[in-house]
Amino acid sequence: MPELKKRKVGLGAEADQASGLRRIFDQLPVRWSLVLQPSMRSDNQADALAGRARQWATHAGPTLVIDAARSQVALALGLRLRYDLEHALAGDCDLGDACVAAGNSLWVLPAARALDAAFADERRAEPVASALQSIAREMRQAMLILPAARVSWVRHFPEIVRERQALIPVSRGADASTAVLTAVRRAMSDAEIDTFHLLFLGMGDAAAGRLLSGMAAIAHRHFGATLIAAKPVPDTEIASAGASIRDRSVESVF
């Protein structure tokens, strides 16, 4: 495998800003947050995650979204991607080129193909994890979005393992509870995660409350897991997630 190019790991001018902000934060270590994507997803999931990432970038500083689940966060932010992490690992571009700026203090790194390769060949797992750790060091926050079926991969991220918690988007629909509880069971058995923050999408407080009550009782009784309602992202954050960059163009589309 070609050596990973790091000439542009600083992400250019945007990363100069990120590095400066990191110094303001007294070199605090990056805070990792895990998002598990259940088998059932909704159309507004990408918008909700994009809004949450934008909120983090605004209030906590430089934020990196690592999309290893094809969750379409980049699309929700108005980005068109030319490269991804697999291109960088293959030597086709620099690691910094694979990260796309999505406004002030926010970047997106598509990593689904690299994760596919890591699962197909265990020898690829460590280079992929090392590349993600390397680019995340420039940031204050890193959101790792994984398919729930591949949650075992967090063993490569001690910071996530120590936290033992994850965010799960919850869609509307008859199968929503089954999809979430399946993700919870997998996360507990494969990664020893026991606390789950549920982000309810497209439903009112009453409906979300009823759904949470039923799932929390089952999860606690059968798995010993704790389910908590995540604080929703304000609609204004979601609506404006990509407003400033909708017209950005690139040479080609990945």
N-term to C-term CA, the chain: 21
Q: Dig out the tokens for 193 from the structure.
A: 């995660």
Pairing of strands 100-101, 106-110: antiparallel
Which residues fall within 8 angstroms of residue 156, CB to CB, at 6 or more apart? Answer: 125, 126, 128, 129
- Per-residue pLDDT of 160-171, as tens digits, reads 888 899 999 998
Q: Which residues of the chain carry a pLDDT beneath 70?
A: 1-28, 232-254
Residue 190 DSSP class:
H
For residue 39, the model assigns a pLDDT of 85
For residue 122, the model assigns a pLDDT of 87
For residue 226, the model assigns a pLDDT of 95
Q: Is 41 exposed, middle or buried (0-12, 13-18, 19+ CB in 10 A)?
A: middle
For residue 246, the model assigns a pLDDT of 36
Pairing of strands 31-37, 141-147: parallel
Q: For 72-137, give the DSSP string.
A: -HHHHTT---S--HHHHHTTSS-HHHHSEE-STTEEEEE-HHHHHHHHH-GGGHHHHHHHHHHHHT
Domain boundary assignment for the chain: 29-229
Helix (H) or strand (E) run with residue 226 in it: strand 226-229
What residue type is assigned to position 25 of the chain? F
Q: In this structure, are residues 250 and 84 in contact, taking their beta carbons and an 8 Å threshold?
A: no
Class of domain 29-229: alpha beta
pTM of the model: 0.82
